[in-house]
Amino acid sequence: MSDPTQITAPATRAPASQRGRTADVSERAGVLGKQVAVTIDGHEIEVQLGTTILEAARKLDIHIPTLCHHDDLCLAGVCRVCVVEVEGQRTLQAACSYPITQPISVLTHTSKVRRARRHIIDLLMSAHYGECYTCSRNQYCELQSLAAEYGVDFFRFGRMEKPRYEIDDSSHAVIRDMNKCILCRRCIRTCIDLQEVGVLEVINRGNRTKVATFMDKPLANVVCINCGQCINRCPTGALRANDPTDEVWEAIDDPEKHVVIQTAPSPRAAIGECFGLEPGHALTFEMNTALRRCGFDKIFDTNFSADLTIIEEGTELLLRLQKALVEKDESVALPQFTSCSPGWVTYIEHFYPEYLNHVSSAKSPQQMFGALIKTYYAELNKVNPKDIVTVALMPCSAKKFECNRPEMCDSGYKDIDYGLTTRELAKMIREAGIDLLKMDKSDFDDPFGTATGSGVIFGATGGVMESALRTVLELVTGNKVEDLFDHAEIIPVRGFEGVRYVELPVTEVGPVPELVAHLFHNWDWLKGVTLKVGVCHGTANAKRVMEDIKAGGKFSQCHFIEFMACLGGCLGGGGQPTPTSPEIRAARARAIYAEDRAYDVRKSHENPAILKLYEQFLTDGPCGHKSHKLLHTGYTPRGKYIE
């Protein structure tokens, strides 16, 4: 197979930080490249026309506090914490939303500015209910930090003595406490602008203003996709994940329970941030030691079941292609969509249900693992599955919703009992008196401790597609993928563009490997086919791809599309450490790809533990009857439904 890879220009919007400005002069001036002189606190700099005062100050390393501002989001300018003095202006101006269109002089920390900022913070504190030391965001709260920065040592304008709103804990994923809300509207901009779901909005006016769902219904009763991106951008404790750590501790302390935990790659690449490390440091094996110290009986690698997902999902894709290309079955749903992001699955259920048969029937790695632990692992170790407690460490709040879906019990029990976010596990480790950074390294436990680099890169956008291509291309062509792409790294599907489209011509085919010989006799029908794939992250971009498919655009011609609900993929999930930004997500991706390169085996179909699983347990092979019962949902690539 040759490598004339074709990539189209990404179908993305302008960066969020450039949307929603007071004027769109910056976009027009970007073409002209016009520079404007600005003086900030006596320091001169030239910036592009339309640059905000906040952006200019950051270029000079001058700190201006912000609260409603977030690098991922469109500008709002509602909190006014960032006010500055602009020479010639009668009133203070919001630095985050003031575009520089002519030479100006700015002062950022005069007595007038400091007093205004402190009064704004005082007013926010007066409408903010609760004690900081009982809050989930204690020591990580932006309002708390600003109060300390500006010397707020008493409630100048009084305080809220009792809560005004009931806490909404209806969702398995997200808990809302509007008594802590400061009306910065970050959650609204995240849900509407970043994700284009639109669950949240502002209702009422004056002192009755609040952030609410449609008709102020509980979160579980609206079209929330449980992605948790609102949590990652909330500056206070108004939004938090539904935390099961007390139940997990109870299970650990119960001598009758056998508690196992699986850990996904993205939390391992980010948890160090909770302990003071800069983003981009993976603590995979230090975390294994910490988990044993916490009392977990077994620590397994989710990358194992990610490899398993690739085998099942890749085989399903080949089956769909065979039906479409050989049997000319026009009812086959192509392109096939990935199914490992539960936020994406919920999104398509809510907004594009007519395309559900395009979604792979393969479960996510989390859920595949749960089914195996309570069947294969239980049999192997003679443990009663009713005594096994399965915990999943995930970067994603939607995983909490996924494991509580009533259909996720193919083992005969609830396949995954509890989902933990990265932040929640960090809390458990601290609670156990463990300094994660000082832990020795230790490996995962067998039989699920062997994984590959393909499993690791599931954590970054494009990783599922790259893993699938490493396996499918090698199975079909008979050539080592390293001969097709340098170091087996399929760079065209990597990156943080919102949408990517890649064409891969199949110019030669090889013999059918034994692993899938029960399903295919030869690959001749694939010779000369150009495999068309797409990658997309964030549901705002997913919407664009889906609308393109509906309109019969180029993505409707794809064979396989990876969808991830969160920006950056799992490494930007709603359970990851805060803050988040494009730079932080990029650093986590570097850590993930570095781990991939460190593996001796980097392709899912070469994982010896996976091959052993098919030999000993899933004996009818990938997409066989037993696999479909445990590892897939009801829809099968053969177009039948199983009970």
Q: Are residues 155 and 297 in the same domain?
A: no
Query: What's the pLDDT tens digit per position in 88-146?
Result: 999 999 999 999 999 999 999 999 999 999 999 999 999 999 889 999 999 999 999 99
Number of domains in the chain: 3
394 shares a domain with 276 = yes
The pLDDT value recorded for residue 32 is 53
pTM score, two decimals?
A: 0.92
Does 327 qualify as catalytic in the annotation? no
DSSP letter for 383, please: -
Catalytic residue, chosen from 312, 402, 424, 474, is: 402
| DSSP, res 99 | B
Active-site residue among 360, 364, 467, 604? 360
User: Alpha carbon 630 to chain centroid distance?
Assistant: 25
Instruction: Pick the catalytic residue from 273, 316, 474, 595.
Output: 316
Question: Mind listing the pLDDT tens digit for each residue in 326-354?
Answer: 999 999 999 999 999 999 999 999 999 99
Residue 24 has pLDDT above 90, yes or no: no
Are 287 and 237 within one domain?
no
Give me the domain span that covers residue 259: 245-304+366-438
Binned at pLDDT 50, 70 and 90, residue 574 comes out as very high
Tell me, yes or no, whether 291 and 390 share the same domain. Answer: yes
Check 399, 400, 532, 603 and give the catalytic one.
399
Catalytic residue among 570, 595, 603, 623, which? 570
Examine the residue annotation and report whether 399 is marked as an active-site residue of this protein. yes
CATH number at residue 85: 3.10.20.740
The answer to whether 340 is a known catalytic residue is yes
Residue 643 a catalytic site member: no
Say which of 407, 431, 547, 583 is annotated catalytic: 407
Catalytic residue among 313, 474, 489, 595: 313
- The alpha carbon of residue 251 and the mean position of all alpha carbons in its chain are separated, in whole angstroms, by 28
Residue 237 and residue 249 in one domain:
no
To the query of whether residue 323 is one of the catalytic residues in this protein, the response is: no
- 3-class secondary structure for 77-91? CCCCCCEEEECCCCC
**Of 582, 569, 566, the residue nearest 266 (C-alpha):** 569
- Would you call 628 helix, strand, or coil by DSSP? helix
82, 96, 181, 340: the active-site residue: 340
**438: CB partners within 8 A, 6+ apart:** none
In a domain, 475, yes or no: no
pLDDT band with cut points at 50, 70 and 90 for residue 634: low
> pLDDT per residue over 418-475, tens digit each?
999 999 999 999 999 999 999 999 999 999 999 999 999 999 999 999 999 999 999 9
User: Does the annotation count 570 as an active-site position?
Assistant: yes
Instruction: Give yes or no: 407 in active site.
Output: yes
CATH number assigned to the domain comprising residue 255: 3.40.50.1780
Question: Edge-to-edge strands of the sheet including 6-7?
Answer: 6-7, 499-505, 530-537, 560-564, 336-337
Query: What percent of the chain stands above pLDDT 70?
Result: 93
